Amino acid sequence: MPSPVQLLARLDALASSLQEREGALALLALGSVGLETHRLDQHSDLDFFVLVAPGAKPKYLDALDWLEQAHPVAFSFYNTPDGCKLLFDDGIFAEYAVFELSELPHIAYTAGRVVWKREDVPHLSASSGVRATPPAPSPEWHTNEALTNLLVGLHREARGERLTAARFIQSYAVDRLLALAALHGAEQGGADPFMPERRFEGRFPDMAARLPGMMQGYQNNQASALCILTWLEDHSSVHPRLAAEIRRLCQQQS
């Protein structure tokens, strides 16, 4: 497993590679290798932006030579029009995107750290002014969405569609509970605006202790649904008819 020292050293090596190349303007580190290095551990990866001059973006997206100069690459694939995920052959995983400097003000990203930039590049904002997500729905929306996820899931379970049932009950409904926990509970530690499940166990330990009952696996959709329903009744205003129907379906299928 790569150490935090190796991760930061790899960023420095990438910066050294970029500064030798025409069109590269800056390297911006994000997340745990950005301004949150206190979170770095052997399971962290590299998240970064490469900022380039106008017209240089295709060159840095189409070729990996600037990465290979820092360290050999074992695997890569382009997961967005602007970026790539890759695995260096020593086990360091990276996700990066390439943007022209003029695009940066329009991109949503977490707090960043400038690893390197050319002297003539203007000051780079450490954080994005773009909202990562639209305004949050109300607690009532999350509650009712979760309840209807349970209802649909249990009906699909009854139809024999266990896979989609598991997704509705143990994934979609649980996602709504994660949102409700953030609205209801006292959070311990900072959230990731892009992935609310990140660091959830440390942020909401009481809620996290209930998750095993809510996600009991492919064969246990009914039991999972009942645990989710119980949590909702304890923390939200649950429509009694929906609750009764969910329990009826669970009992019918048990």
* pLDDT tens-digit readout, 34-77: 888 888 988 888 999 999 999 999 999 999 999 999 999 999 88
Q: pLDDT-based confidence at 202, cuts 50/70/90?
A: confident
- ∠ CA 168-170-175, nearest 5°, is 85
Neighbour count for residue 233 (Cβ, 10 Å) = 13
Question: What is the DSSP secondary-structure string of 154-212?
Answer: HHHHHTT-HHHHHHIIIIIHHHHHHHHHHHHS---SPPPSS-TTTTHHHH-HHHHTTHH
User: With a threshold of 0.75, does the pTM exceed it?
Assistant: no
Kind and range of the H or E element at 129? none
Between CA 65 and CA 80 the distance in angstroms is 19
Domain 4-117, CATH class in plain words: alpha beta
Between CA 65 and CA 73 the distance in angstroms is 9
Rounded mean pLDDT, 106-112: 78
Least confident of 10-14, 39-43, 58-62, 234-238: 39-43
Between CA 55 and CA 202 the distance in angstroms is 43
The tens digit of pLDDT for each residue in 141-161 reads 899 889 989 988 998 898 899
Q: What is the mean pLDDT of the chain?
A: 87
Neighbour count for residue 16 (Cβ, 10 Å) = 13
Strand pairing category for 93-100 and 46-52: parallel
